[in-house]
Chains A and B, each alone.
Chain A
């Protein structure tokens, strides 16, 4: 029974994936960014579908089980702060993305800065740091499938999950995850709420769960010093990187207007009201499923489900959880293929691009599968690892939005140095007193950009995406005035060009 309901959830999703193929166009743009026609509701579902992955359903309770309130707070906090940032940032990114007909962030960099170096650096950092993200999905997928109690080996489990994800991508590109997201979002909320309801249906109460959660070690407070430093630094650092995630950028670029993109952010935090339900299950697991250690803490949620729910319902919950992983895995795979084919292996013909995308996805998944099986990790740690690198892109994005005299190659150097610093600190296992290792890495990134700006500035400032209104109204006058004031300006820039510069 448990398998029947599990398979049923996946079949419904697969059916929708196939159904969504109808109406999908044949160009690469259709395949990758849904032909840029997504309205507000579909965009909301798509973004939500990719933000709340198996890291939420399985990873969050596991992290709270292992690390307590500090984990819960950074996890919820960075997502919450991500939306207000997106409210302002995303319309601007949409605008510049549309202007350059971009499908990825490196596309935007290439179009805006006309820099192959920056494009390549950004693509490289994105691809490398999306590997832990796939590991995160695969780890969760293993947990969900293990919840069925079929006794599959981890290898078989992972391969089954990957096959389903591949089928979705092959069928219709981003549209499959988008439509499947409808089923997935429902399944996610259902899984979370139903398990919480069963927990509360036990002979227990919130006060008892809270009291039991603190037996042994404190799980409901964040101690001053190291744990607090870790929580706050991770929360703020990851909020900055939240919308740098390549698949979120791709979802944004698939939207039909800047206004839609901004308006869509308003409802996003409401969706987070599922977290109180997850907290109940997470805290309950501490006393109900004692003794989980290391990567096994990932099992907290599914173990509670197995102990409290009837078999058929465990199947539905595990199916919903698996679907979350599959949707994000599909979206990540797709974006990896896009990044490599468009931004790394350039000069590939349109017809060849599609098949090349598929080969690269297979390589990406293979690497992730090996890492998942060889280095099992706490899911929260995998999220952190992805952000160490992905957040480094924020410096380039800020310079893109604001315009500056930093050379694009200098931005690329900062980006690579930041990412390399993160990897170096991570591998060295250095102790920073709780500070998220992305923070010093970001500092290195910024330092290189600042020093480069001072020592070796570009001759002209890059065009700003964010232009203040007063500039617009006085564009002609200020342009003339600037030229007059700048003795180095050998060639006066035509006024009409300046108007365009400030308008676009």
Chain B
């Protein structure tokens, strides 16, 4: 349940940096891809990419994480 650092980098770090940098660098651009402003192409692409990043982190780190580990009913692990 506690955030996994690698998972945080993938799920939060990449979209945060990509979106902020993308808006700053592409915001003033008049370039287009298939006549759509490149800024919008980039941001729209980030929607499925962000989902994909979460799915990757979920499979790699978070799906099998112990979600009961912090519950009061399982103190045995810490006392091993």
> A residues near B, CB below 8 A?
69-70, 72-73, 76-77, 80-81, 83-85, 87-88, 91-92, 95, 99, 205-207, 210, 220-224, 228, 231-232, 235-236, 257-259, 262-263, 265-270, 272-273, 275-276, 279, 466-469, 472-473, 475-476, 499-500, 502-504
Asked if B67 contacts A258 (CB within 8 A), the reply is yes
- For B67, the chain A residues whose CB sits under 8 A away are 91, 257-259
- For B39, the chain A residues whose CB sits under 8 A away are 69, 73, 220-222
- Asked, given contacts A95-B1, A223-B28, A228-B27, whether A206 binds B44 with beta carbons under 8 Å apart, the answer is no
Size class of the B contact interface (CB-based, 8 Å): 35 or more
Asked if B47 contacts A85 (CB within 8 A), the reply is no
Give Cα A148 to B13, complex, Å: 45
Give Cα A412 to B68, complex, Å: 31
- For B78, the chain A residues whose CB sits under 8 A away are 472-473, 475-476, 499, 502-503
Shortest CB distance B50–A (Å): 4
Q: Which residue of A lies closest to B10 (CB)?
A: A84
Q: Which residue of B lies closest to A224 (CB)?
A: B28
Binary contact readout B7-35 vs A (1 if CB under 8 angstroms, 0 otherwise):
11001100110011001100111101011
- For B72, the chain A residues whose CB sits under 8 A away are 99, 500, 503-504
Shortest CB distance B48–A (Å): 6
Give Cα A500 to B76, complex, Å: 10
Asked if B15 contacts A81 (CB within 8 A), the reply is yes
Binary contact readout B24-64 vs A (1 if CB under 8 angstroms, 0 otherwise):
10011110101111011001101110110111011000110
Q: Which residue of A lies closest to B50 (CB)?
A: A269
- For B70, the chain A residues whose CB sits under 8 A away are 95, 467, 503-504
Asked if A266 contacts B37 (CB within 8 A), the reply is no
Q: Which of A83, A88, A91, A472 has the most CB of B within 10 A?
A: A88
The contact of A232 among B1, B24, B50, by CB within 8 Å, is B24
- For A232, the chain B residues whose CB sits under 8 A away are 20, 23-24
Q: Which of A76, A99, A269 has the most CB of B within 10 A?
A: A269
Shortest CB distance A453–B (Å): 23
New A-B pairs, 10, CB < 8 Å, besides A84-B15, A263-B63, A266-B58:
A76-B43, A80-B46, A81-B16, A84-B12, A84-B53, A92-B3, A220-B37, A221-B29, A472-B78, A503-B78
The contact of A206 among B7, B27, B34, B48, by CB within 8 Å, is B34
- Asked, given contacts A467-B70, A504-B72, whether A231 binds B27 with beta carbons under 8 Å apart, the answer is yes
- For A69, the chain B residues whose CB sits under 8 A away are 27, 37, 39-40
> B residues near A, CB below 8 A?
1-3, 7-8, 11-12, 15-16, 19-20, 23-24, 27-30, 32, 34-37, 39-40, 43-44, 46-48, 50-51, 53-55, 57-58, 62-63, 67, 69-72, 74-75, 77-80
Q: Which residue of B lies closest to A236 (CB)?
A: B20
- Asked, given contacts A207-B35, A503-B75, whether A85 binds B12 with beta carbons under 8 Å apart, the answer is yes
- Asked, given contacts A88-B8, A266-B55, A472-B77, whether A80 binds B27 with beta carbons under 8 Å apart, the answer is no
- For A95, the chain B residues whose CB sits under 8 A away are 1, 70-71
Give Cα A69 to B26, complex, Å: 11
- For B24, the chain A residues whose CB sits under 8 A away are 228, 232
Give Cα A228 to B45, complex, Å: 21
Give Cα A206 to B29, complex, Å: 18
What are 30 A-B contacts defined by CB distance under 8 Å? A69-B39, A73-B43, A80-B15, A80-B46, A81-B15, A83-B50, A84-B12, A84-B54, A87-B11, A87-B12, A88-B3, A88-B12, A95-B70, A95-B71, A205-B35, A207-B35, A222-B39, A228-B23, A228-B24, A228-B27, A228-B28, A235-B19, A235-B23, A259-B67, A266-B51, A266-B54, A267-B51, A467-B70, A472-B78, A503-B74
- For B20, the chain A residues whose CB sits under 8 A away are 232, 235-236
Give Cα A235 to B18, complex, Å: 13
Asked if A270 contacts B51 (CB within 8 A), the reply is yes
Shortest CB distance A403–B (Å): 13
- For A276, the chain B residues whose CB sits under 8 A away are 40, 44
- For B16, the chain A residues whose CB sits under 8 A away are 81, 84
Q: Which residue of A lies closest to B80 (CB)?
A: A473
Give Cα A366 to B30, complex, Å: 46
Give Cα A205 to B16, complex, Å: 33
Asked if B1 contacts A92 (CB within 8 A), the reply is yes
Q: Which residue of A lies closest to B48 (CB)?
A: A270
Q: Which residue of B lies closest to A502 (CB)?
A: B78
Shortest CB distance B79–A (Å): 6
- For A236, the chain B residues whose CB sits under 8 A away are 20
Give Cα A259 to B69, complex, Å: 12
- For B40, the chain A residues whose CB sits under 8 A away are 69, 72, 220, 276, 279
Asked if A73 contacts B2 (CB within 8 A), the reply is no
Asked if A88 contacts B27 (CB within 8 A), the reply is no
Asked if B28 contacts A222 (CB within 8 A), the reply is yes
Asked if A269 contacts B51 (CB within 8 A), the reply is yes
- For A84, the chain B residues whose CB sits under 8 A away are 11-12, 15-16, 50, 53-54
Asked if A467 contacts B2 (CB within 8 A), the reply is yes
Shortest CB distance B43–A (Å): 6
Asked if A206 contacts B8 (CB within 8 A), the reply is no
